[in-house]
Amino acid sequence: MHVEALAIVCAVLGHGEHGAVVRLMTPEHGLLAGYVRGGRSRRLRPVLLPGNVVQAEFRARTEEQLAALTVELAQSRAPLHSEPLAAAAIDWATALTATALPEAQPYPRLHAALDGLLGAIEAAPVARGWAAALVRYELLMLSELGFGLDLSACVASGAREDLAYVSPKSGAAVSRTEGAPYAARLLPLPGFLIDGGGAEWDALFDGFRLTGHFLERDLLTGRQAGVLAARERLVARLKRMVG
């Protein structure tokens, strides 16, 4: 096994006295893990920050063996880790990626979306500039792993207009007319997930509520559920900011 790629740092776990097991998201090979000798050293700690892009080289004698990994910094997002909201968003997006994806399976759409999301966090002057991209990334993650929502038409009538809700059981869209009598039992469907573009905070929090329901129910279960704490911290900070 020999892979060279530009990759996004998603998770770093200390191993032994000085080393670290690092999970990177690559464009063609998906999530890959490798052992970095001296990964917790003063030199490599600022390189192995979640969200950074590194030039990575994995080498292993067999596919089953944990690869030896060497890295060189290609793009640093270290300054964002001193900004609480940006840091929380990066921590959640990369933790979700490292936890939910099977290793060594290609997900080029997810790699591109994660790279775009991190770029939006870096470029946007305020959190509302990247919050919609984060909700869409969660939605794409569900879809790529087989738990996609059907937001194309109303599950009850087949109508494609005025979709306002999602069934928490089926994950299918429901029109405003069909869903009105059951609104208290349905999840709001914010318009930006249908029409694209940005959104106001009420719609963004509806989006987080929607994707969070299905992430918790279908994807992050059992031992993986612990990663949801990073998401809860992020959403709580966003709500405090909005007031």
Tens digits of residue pLDDT in 4-24: 999 999 999 988 778 999 999
Q: Mean pLDDT, to the nearest integer, of 201-229? A: 97
Neighbours of 1 (CB within 10 A): 15
What amino acid occupies position 187? Answer: L
Amino acid, single-letter form, for residue 211: T
Collapse the DSSP code of 241 into the 3-class scheme (helix H, G, I; strand E, B; otherwise coil) and give the result: helix
Q: Are 44 and 14 in contact (CB under 8 A)?
A: no
Domains, the chain, ranges and CATH? 1-76 (2.40.50.140), 80-151+189-243 (no CATH)
- Report whether 179 contacts 165 (CB < 8 A): yes
Q: Is residue 125 very low, low, confident or very high in pLDDT (cuts 50, 70, 90)?
A: confident
Would you say residue 198 has pLDDT above 80? yes
Query: In terms of DSSP H, where are the helices of the chain?
Result: 84-100, 108-123, 128-144, 176-179, 192-195, 201-214, 228-242
Nearest 10 degrees: Cα torsion 220, 223, 229, 232: 30
Residue 25: predicted pLDDT: 98
Compute the distance between CA of residue 49 and CA of residue 29 in angstroms, rounded to an integer: 20
Lowest-pLDDT choice from 13-17, 83-87, 99-103: 13-17
25 burial (CB, 10 Å; 0-12 / 13-18 / 19+) is buried
